[in-house]
Structure 1
């Protein structure tokens, strides 16, 4: 049977739910059973929680308090999707200006924004650092959730599910758009989906085809821009058996590298740009470029042996 240690709570937060920030009068105990204790890296803990968060039944197999937090947050997001959706479909001023009347709609107009704010604050709330008896818990957040607009979701799919429910977007359209433009541009995919909520299969296909075409054209433009940066006439240089390859010299010219010291200052940028080559290949090309720039410090060598002297 587990013995749970209560986490340290700042005085000003002594009656606050660690998960959502609401007033607390209960606890969430982690882990739920004895089996995961060896995997969590710290003693079992009890965290202050409101009644609602404490009642959420998280999986007994979870081995990270961050996974517990994400599961509880996901439940809140799903439960209050309609409240959160108010902020997706209205602004506060629009609600004030709207002509809501009658016993039902009038009440909605007066309370809707407050309902949204409360729900939003709860799902966005971040608890305080974890410690027990003033000893910080070495707990690393290793969850692979997805964060958008300040709210953390358990995954990109749960985020899509939320906007399907809260904003009324077409799930299939949003999912396909995210597949095309990637989750990094989720806001762009969502914006298109919000403009096309009630789409037919034909219209959805037309939108997808148009976005695919736009992305293809954009890739071509970017490729042309990259190619225009690089001088196609550059030649590789052999320095004592080490090669400064064409692409490395082109990069140095495009980035207006003046000398060896300047290259060293841009080392991180170089390896980031050529990350796709893999470590050994990127290092060999960088080493060859270093030797080339070192040789260029000798004016006589430049005059007699540098095939690219006219480009610097």
Structure 2
């Protein structure tokens, strides 16, 4: 087990949950997805999280996904699991993660209820302290962590990072300025490339990349250009790839997941478009739009050689 108390940096891989037509987990497809992300140089694997349809997995499927991820990663990069929602289930899945050799977990918010800040801090703290794995807390939806809440979590050695899915830049500025390098800061907004130029100056040095499941070389090219100040290239990728895909993503709830599967299928990594309710597959017109965008993206930004991280 990796006990280095630091969250991964760079572009983070979030594999999907490939499902067969009869709604069973396709472990072979999952292994291919993870190997592809590793071959493309992504810095970590976050398994059974939002892109992996965490909310609809059985315990047995969760366990199988963790086993596949840990096996394929082979300690080359850290593996984080998604836990959250029901706290009793979270504690059980956190233990499974530790037993299966994961390096950490991303703690998702509790569902349905909105707790007070003290209760939210205790929720994250309880899950984080239940194992010796690293933990990243995820603020999104109805969870917006205050300074006192993060002060309580800063006392927990396992808590190494904060992932933001709210997009409240005033809050992000306050939190990063208050806690600095005590936490690693991760951009967890939908299609995080859209907002990364605003997050980077605040100290956010990693992001979850949905498009890396099917065009990782473009995500890498974008991030490298952002880090090196190549603004013309950043704008070029924005205009011809990121913003057009984001326009489709915003058309329907659930496209943050189902659009990934559509993109993978278009790019020759057939995983089918089977998703679990309440998520629906990508509509035909949007699928056709994505096909056109990706064809133009590959013509404009061909994958000539492996793109290395910097």
Question: TM range, normalised to the smaller chain?
Answer: under 0.3
Q: TM-score, normalising length from structure 2?
A: 0.25
Q: TM-score, normalising length from structure 1?
A: 0.25
Query: Structure 1 or 2: larger helix share?
Result: 1
Q: Greater Rg, structure 1 or structure 2?
A: 1
Q: Which structure's relative contact order is higher, taking Cα pairs within 8 Å and 6+ residues apart? A: 2
